[in-house]
Amino acid sequence: MLDLAIIGGGPAGMTAGLYATRGGLKDVIMYELGLPGGQITQSSEIENYPGQKEVVSGMELMSNWPEQSKAFGLQHSMNEVSSITKSNNIFTIQLSNNDKVQAKTVVIATGSKPKKAGLKGEEEFFGKGVSTCATCDGFFYKNQEVVVVGGGDTALEEAIHLSHICKTVHLTYRGDKFRASPTTIKKVNNLKNIKIYFWTIVDEILGDNSGVTQINIKNTKTQKKEELKLGGIFIFVGRDVLNAPLLQKDGSFLCETNSSGEVIVNLKMQTSVSGLFACGDIRIDAPKQVVCAAGDGAVAGIGAIAYLS
Amino acid sequence: MSKYIELTNDNFETTTANGVSLVDFWAPWCGPCRMIAPVIDELASDFDGKANICKVNTDEQQDLAVKFGVRSIPTIIFMKNGEKVDEQVGASSKEVLSEKINALL
């Protein structure tokens, strides 16, 4: 039986593993389906990670984390966790390869995935012109025009990244006040090839066998419609937490969650179920920053040790 | 441990002409591509002699990316006797990819 099972290998999961193993726990496995790193590896520029003065990409920032996290015995398993249940004070981790593992404590740090905007054509052309990762896919639109949807930090940062690759970035936002940080907004305003469309929604994504060919947008104040003949649309309208492993057979969650499915925790990252900790972007009020996720992970790792002793 | 096959314009057709092939279109700057890299490595070992486990660096092989309509990475295509039969966009688990290969064998 494991002392601790960690579900998710982003900054929160890796830090939980580092603290738990360095603190003395012996049998600790972190489940992550591939190379640990998390969603931050999709970020093009990080300039607010403390101690990291140079601006680096998310991949660069995370490059040493997997090795360090395993320095004190943390094991990594490339299996996906399909469910977590608890009975008689023991957690059972059901893996997607049908294996079952038992653990005394669990840290869930599965993070989140990009939210769908619910646009007409979004599903049909996902991966064929519709993208949620500018650092991955911007390259396919070199010197071309693209649309970006969203007004938060991610949308604006990715619009900036795309502006260095693409001819024009059509940045559409349903309101007229971006929610991004003032520094990022200033950068966007200074880039001549980012064309901003406030009060604007995407009506429809059109295409053919080759993928997206046209985006129809509409100004909700003036009702003016425009047809943009282009092949790429990048959507950044928030994220959904990855809480599926907590789902029980009766449709309830293993622990308490809020209406968005985020796991309710206290300052010790304890959930409503003793021995189950949640940290990083899956928890309520997550600031969605690497430094915070790592901090959460440390708290959860220390909490797991305390629970077992 | 067997290694995946690096595909280029020169060896793509000959490599995928016979049998079942998994082709992972990736690029060095792509986080999710890096994430599934160890999965592809394991598949290369698991399916050694049974299926061709291949990778295409889209940064260097843009013609191949265009030919297969790849506009998002990672895109993983499954081929049988030189014909594309299935496609998956985004990272996925080893089980999912293994099942798709096994279904074609």
The distance between the two most distant Cα atoms of chain B, rounded to a whole number of Å, is 32
Q: How far apart are CA A7 and CA B92, in angstroms?
A: 16
- Cross-chain residue pair A34–B35, CB shorter than 8 Å: yes
Q: In which band, very low, low, confident or very high, does the pLDDT at A72 lie, cut at 50, 70 and 90?
A: very high
Query: Is-contact B60 B27, C-beta < 8 A?
Result: no
3-state class of A142 per DSSP? coil
Instruction: Extract the runs of DSSP E, i.e. beta strands, from chain A.
Output: 2-7, 28-31, 75-77, 81-87, 90-95, 100-108, 112-114, 130-131, 145-149, 168-172, 194-197, 200-208, 211-219, 225-228, 232-235, 239-241, 276-278
- Interface check A55 vs B, CB under 8 A: no
Q: Where do the domains of chain A lie? A: 2-114+239-308, 130-235
Convert the pLDDT of each residue in A171-215 to its tens digit: 999 999 999 999 999 999 999 999 999 999 999 999 999 999 999
| Residue in A137, A153, A281, A296 annotated catalytic | A137
Any idea of the CA torsion for B54, B57, B62, B67, to the nearest 10 degrees?
20
Q: Minimal Cα–Cα distance from B1 to chain A, Å?
A: 17
Residues in chain A: 309
- Asked if domains A2-114+239-308 and A130-235 share a fold, the reply is yes
- Cross-chain residue pair B30–A133, CB shorter than 8 Å: yes
Q: In which band, very low, low, confident or very high, does the pLDDT at B1 lie, cut at 50, 70 and 90?
A: low
Convert the pLDDT of each residue in B17-50 to its tens digit: 999 999 999 999 999 999 999 999 999 999 999 9
**What is the model's pTM?**
0.92
Q: Which CATH number fits domain A130-235: 3.40.50.300, 3.30.429.10, 3.30.1370.10, 3.50.50.60?
A: 3.50.50.60
Residue A169, phi then psi, degrees to nearest 5: -115, 115
- Interface check A245 vs B, CB under 8 A: no
Convert the pLDDT of each residue in A259-280 to its tens digit: 999 999 999 999 999 999 999 9
Fold category of B5-104 in CATH? Glutaredoxin (3.40.30)
A279 catalytic per annotation: no
Beta bridge partners of A150: none
As its CATH architecture, domain A2-114+239-308 has: 3-Layer(bba) Sandwich (3.50)
Convert the pLDDT of each residue in A225-235 to its tens digit: 999 999 999 99
Q: Where do the domains of chain B lie? A: 5-104
Alpha-carbon dihedral sign for residues A121, A125, A126, A129 = negative
Q: Minimal Cα–Cα distance from B81 to chain A, Å?
A: 23
Query: Is-contact A267 A227, C-beta < 8 A?
Result: no
